[in-house]
Structure 1
Amino acid sequence: MLENFWFNVEYGINHVLDINAYDHVLFLISLTVPYAFKDWKRVLLLVSMFTLGHTLSLVLAAYNIVSINVQLVEFLIPVTILIVAVYNVLTAGKGAQKERVGILFFTTLFFGLIHGLGFAREFKMLLGDSDNTLVLLLEFALGIEISQIIIVFMVLFLGYLGQTIFRFSKRDWILVISSVVIGLVIPMLHNSDFLS
């Protein structure tokens, strides 16, 4: 039982930290880069909203409530990353990350739904004929949350180093990192089967 639990949690961790599927990491970088350690509650809430969206779409797919066009979802995932990164560039230094919960959290939840649909097919294969769908989903979601917290911590830590040791202004840090993300995500859009 414990062996299965760890397998499923580890599967969730590896899903996010897979170097060949770095879209999840790029989204988390874009989501986190405008913040500092002192904003940890807000960042944790944002990341949890993303996990919730991701998990909800897996539930909907696992119980065959929704069916997905894989090419469309694989196109929409980089679009979500691009939207967040461009938003960062446009609002860098303007304190936009301090705004009330509102649209940012709902957008993150919605983007989580899209990212979860991107993994639904693989998750169904992991699920197989298991009758413990909900337990498997929760264990998998726990693994995702753990890996996301690791990534968020690394982004916040690198931001701290960049802004204290290397004297980047917060605005410049957001602009540079978000621009790098945009540069990485544009080829993903270009290579999408949806546009072919």
Structure 2
Amino acid sequence: MLLIPASLTAAGGRWRAPPSARRRMVHVVHVVTAFALGHSLTLALAATGVIDLPTRPVETLIALSIAVSAVHAIRPLVARGEVLIAAGFGLVHGLTFASLISDLGLDHGSLLTTLLGFNLGIELTQLLVVALMMPSLIVLARTSFYAASRIGVALLGLMFSVSWMLDAPR
């Protein structure tokens, strides 16, 4: 959801064409890096038991982060604030990733190796998604139907995230 408006620039409360493709790509790298640092931090802290939060609030926060991203894709909520938003959302998403590792019941040595491998796998997958999506989004952003498709996808994401929040286990 964070990538949908990534080929655009927020200005005057609206999405506009960016000044340059290079500037947009640098911005996307910053957003992706912020998300990665956020989820890597909480993944490590939660997987090692430093922090432990119940599943329900974490899942609700993840669904909320998707909803906020969807609204932001429709109309910018913050100009140049996507990096901070991505870092905050990454912190929340890392908590869920940690629950996958903690369910394995690994000893300390295996935990560190698994944590490193799991996190690298997430980062590589995230980079692959960005590399595959951004060229298409940049090209689509130059068309007349991009605004309608961006809003349609964002509304669909918003609908699913609200549904997830309402359906999350209690």
Bin the TM-score by the shorter chain: 0.7 to 0.9
**Identity across matched positions, percent:** 26
Aligned match for 1:182, one of 155, 158, 167: 158
The residue number in structure 2 matching 1:58 is 43
The residue number in structure 1 matching 2:16 is none
User: Take 1:113 and 1:60, find their aligned partners in 2: how far apart are those partners?
Assistant: 10
User: Take 1:191 and 1:118, find their aligned partners in 2: how far apart are those partners?
Assistant: 17
* 1:109 CA displacement: 1.1
Cα deviation code 1:102-130 (max 9, x no counterpart): x4222211111111111222112346114
For 1:39-188, list aligned pairs within 5 A.
39-91=24-76, 99-100=79-80, 103-126=81-104, 128-163=106-141, 167-188=143-164
Which region of structure 1 is more displaced relative to structure 2, 149-158 or 49-58?
149-158
User: Take 1:193 and 1:169, find their aligned partners in 2: how far apart are those partners?
Assistant: 38
* 1:145 CA displacement: 1.3
User: Take 2:165 and 2:108, find their aligned partners in 1: how far apart are those partners?
Assistant: 35
8 A contact 2:47–2:115 mirrored in 1: no
User: Take 1:152 and 1:171, find their aligned partners in 2: how far apart are those partners?
Assistant: 20
* 1:43 CA displacement: 1.0
8 A contact 1:127–1:136 mirrored in 2: no
- Letter in structure 1 aligned against 2:155: S
Question: Structure 1-normalised TM-score?
Answer: 0.69
- Letter in structure 2 aligned against 1:77: I
Paired residue secondary structure (2:2): helix
The residue number in structure 2 matching 1:34 is 5
Higher relative contact order (CA 8 A, sep 6+): 1
8 A contact 2:31–2:86 mirrored in 1: yes
User: Take 1:158 and 1:190, find their aligned partners in 2: how far apart are those partners?
Assistant: 33
* 1:131 CA displacement: 1.1
Give the number of equivalent residue pairs.
156
* 1:152 CA displacement: 1.8
* 1:135 CA displacement: 4.0
| Cα-Cα RMSD | 2.4
- Letter in structure 2 aligned against 1:34: P
List runs of 5+ in structure 2 lacking aligned partners.
Answer: 8-20
8 A contact 1:78–1:185 mirrored in 2: yes
Paired residue secondary structure (2:75): helix
8 A contact 1:35–1:43 mirrored in 2: yes
Cα deviation code 1:83-120 (max 9, x no counterpart): 1111221239xxx6xx44xx422221111111111122
* 1:59 CA displacement: 1.2
Q: Which one has the bigger helix percentage?
A: 1
Paired residue secondary structure (2:156): helix
